[in-house]
Amino acid sequence: PLVGSVLTRGRSDKSRSDAATLLRAIALADADHHEKIVKALSELLGAGTTQAQEHATVLLLALCPTGKEHKQARGAVANQRPFKMLIRELRSTSTTLRMHASAVLDSLAADLGQNLSSIAAAGGIKPLVGLLDGASADAASEVVQTQEHAAQIVAAMAEGSDEYAASVAREGGIPLCVRLLEAGSIRAKASAAHTIRALSSRFAGQVEDSGAVEHLVRLLSSHSLDSQELAAHALTGIAAGGRKEKI
């Protein structure tokens, strides 16, 4: 409790940073401590100053890393239901806090299923789609990373269910993904192509009208094999969807 108090009410940024480092070391050393610290951190989200929230969120991220070998750790974080507060942080004026919150959600979304449902239930689709707007590949690093995380989650949402796909389209996800195809980072472009591929069969007309085809064709010449494959699948989906609409 004392370390958590310093994390949220410490007089200096250094004291909060030191507290976060100590909490991480304790959590990684013992499974029982990991669960208790994750619970405490989830309760600290949205508390205290912006800097305190940044420290709490980045520590939560350290305790739910990506990779199959860390699925249990991510489960421990998801079990504390931090989704609503993380999504609230996506609306923060702090670019650092938005980046860390989107990174935690991205890590949790990798497990799909229940976590995607929790993100959607907490009202996450609208702010996540909104984060696709307003950044180019040469923007500030934190803004680009936030956009990349959001784009990856939106792609998972679009592929997760027809309901989520419809929500992504309704919130303006298609034109925003087309902008990413034009000016986003390599990672954001791949996620945008993934989203368009997921939406293409049901929303072929909207996708085609948005100018996606031109950018997807260009992506076929990308140095990234994954991007090439996603672009090819998206173009196939648009063609198939178009045929359905004409029948």
Q: From CA 173, how far away is CA 196, in angstroms rounded?
A: 9
Spatial CB neighbours of 145, under 8 Å, sequence gap ≥ 6? 99, 102, 103
Continuous H helices in the chain: 2-9, 13-29, 31-44, 50-62, 71-78, 83-89, 95-109, 113-121, 125-130, 141-160, 162-170, 173-183, 186-200, 204-209, 212-219, 225-246
Distance CA 8, CA 19 (A): 9
- Flag residues of the chain having pLDDT under 50: 2, 243-247
Q: Return phi, psi of residue 205, to 5°.
A: -60, -50
Instruction: Using alpha carbons, list the distances in angstroms from residue 141 to 4, 136, 137, 150.
Output: 29, 10, 9, 14
Per-residue model confidence (pLDDT) at position 244: 47
User: DSSP class of residue 68?
Assistant: G
pTM reported for the whole predicted model: 0.85
CA dihedral sign, ordered 69, 66, 115, 186:
negative
pLDDT of residue 166: 96
* Size (the chain), residues: 247
